[in-house]
Amino acid sequence: MAQITLIEGITLALARAMEEDDSVIVLGEDVGVNGGVFRATAGLQSRFGDERVIDTPLAEVMIAGMSVGMAAQGIKPVAEAQFCGFTMPMVDHLMCHAGRMRNRTRGRLSCPMVLRFPSGGGIHAPEHHSESPEALYAHMPGIRVVIPSSPSRAYGLLLAAIRDPDPVVFMEPKRIYRWQREEVIDDGEELPLDVCYTLRDGNDLTLVTWGAMIKETLQAADELEKQGISVEVIDVATISPLDMDTIYESASRTGRCVIIQEAPRHCSVASEIAAGLADAGIWNLHAPVKRVCGYDTVMPLYRNEMKYMPSVRRIVDAAQQVLEVS
């Protein structure tokens, strides 16, 4: 069985979904002959033809708007935006149409589309290529937001996203596209779109994260374990709807929680999780909940981008602050 990377998990899921359902199509800029700028759609056009793997003109609003139109009329578009920053013109169609189609027509029409795009920093990319806008999409009613952080979760979650009858924003942590290899069985098994994954069990502290920050978070957990601290690590994976039950169950058991995200802190998913913990039962926590985030600044150009993102040391420091409270 092949050991594959996260991005190969994406490609595998796309091929599987297209194989099993003729109404699934892929569209985006350079997704055809070129196979996408990160090669997520490599080989799909030669396999499924240019009517199902469609190179679009360079027009993001059109990709989003036509995906809404196709989805409402019996096609399942899986649209690719080349980078997170270029999804901003698409927000109109997601917010004003994709997330509302079913509701505004009382179920007469629906919008089963997927918008997938690479997000996050850390690959020395130009401006507008490195942001983490998950909170923006999670704030949109009617839209699911998913961020896989391993090859098998990329495969299973993307399959579920494509099969889902409602719109899904599928954000791919590009910094870890090729970080780890994992055995992924192409059996068409999907993963649920509303549960977190506990990556490591522990008793003293819960670290909650998602996307590429899984890398630093696991490294921080290793360091803390060396200090004799038993750390539980949760990959949120499905940002919206948020599985607060799993997070709360862990945090109330360990009594201590640090949330790590690459995105800015203000009005963020980390803030939502912290508020959710307080709401569910602040009395079960032994210490304040800490958020380790990107700064509330513009994502810097690449020479400083790693200084912007939470480091292992920042995570360990926050963990120690939380552990010091008795």
* DSSP string over 28-93: ETT-STT--TTSTTTTHHHHH-TTTEEEPPS-HHHHHHHHHHHHHTT-EEEEE-SSGGGGGGGHHH
Number of residues that bind other proteins (CB under 8 A): 48
Q: Given 129, 139, 266, 286, which residue is catalytic?
A: 129
Q: What does DSSP say about strands 231-235 and 197-200: parallel, antiparallel, or unpaired?
A: antiparallel
One residue of 10, 66, 81, 270 binding other proteins per CB under 8 A? 66
How crowded is residue 248: how many other Cβ atoms within 10 Å of its Cβ?
20
Taking each helix axis from N to C end, the angle separating 244-254 and 269-281, rounded to the nearest 10 degrees, works out to 60
One residue of 5, 11, 45, 67 binding other proteins per CB under 8 A? 67
What does the alpha-carbon distance between residue 142 and residue 115 come to, in Å, rounded to a whole number? 14
Contact between 42 and other proteins (CB under 8 A)?
Answer: no
Contact between 220 and other proteins (CB under 8 A)?
Answer: no
Q: Mask 233-262, x = binds other proteins (CB under 8 A)?
A: --------xxxxx-----------------
Contact between 104 and other proteins (CB under 8 A)?
Answer: yes
Contact between 324 and other proteins (CB under 8 A)?
Answer: no
Q: Which residues pair with 26 in a beta bridge?
A: 53, 78
One residue of 42, 62, 91, 199 binding other proteins per CB under 8 A? 62
Considering the complex, state which of residue 64 and residue 207 has its C-beta at the smaller distance from other proteins: 64
Q: How far is the CB of 61 from other proteins (least distance, A)?
A: 5
Contact between 91 and other proteins (CB under 8 A)?
Answer: no
Amino acid at 326: S
What does the alpha-carbon distance between residue 266 and residue 138 come to, in Å, rounded to a whole number? 14
Find the radius of gyration of the CA atoms of the chain.
Answer: 19
One residue of 3, 46, 105, 304 binding other proteins per CB under 8 A? 105
Contact between 300 and other proteins (CB under 8 A)?
Answer: no
Contact between 46 and other proteins (CB under 8 A)?
Answer: no
Is 129 tagged catalytic? yes
Considering the complex, state which of residue 3 and residue 23 has its C-beta at the smaller distance from other proteins: 23
Q: Which stretch binds other proteins (CB under 8 A): 3-11, 55-63, 252-260, 295-303?
A: 55-63
Task: Tell me phi and psi for residue 5, to 5 degrees.
Answer: -90, 175
Contact between 72 and other proteins (CB under 8 A)?
Answer: yes
Contact between 93 and other proteins (CB under 8 A)?
Answer: yes
Contact between 281 and other proteins (CB under 8 A)?
Answer: no
Q: What share of the chain is helix, strand, coil (3-state, %, to 5)?
A: 40, 20, 40
Considering the complex, state which of residue 102 and residue 175 has its C-beta at the smaller distance from other proteins: 102
The answer to whether 63 touches 36, Cβ cutoff 8 Å, is no
Contact between 61 and other proteins (CB under 8 A)?
Answer: yes
What does the alpha-carbon distance between residue 256 and residue 276 come to, in Å, rounded to a whole number? 14
How crowded is residue 217: how many other Cβ atoms within 10 Å of its Cβ?
30
Q: HSE, CB side, 13 Å, CA atoms: give it for residue 7.
A: 18
Q: Mask 160-199, x = binds other proteins (CB under 8 A)?
A: ----xxx---------------------------x-----
- Residues annotated as catalytic are 129
In the complex, the residues that contact other proteins under the rule CB under 8 A are: 25, 51-52, 56-57, 59, 61-62, 64-75, 77, 89, 92-93, 96-97, 101-110, 141-142, 144, 164-166, 194, 241-245
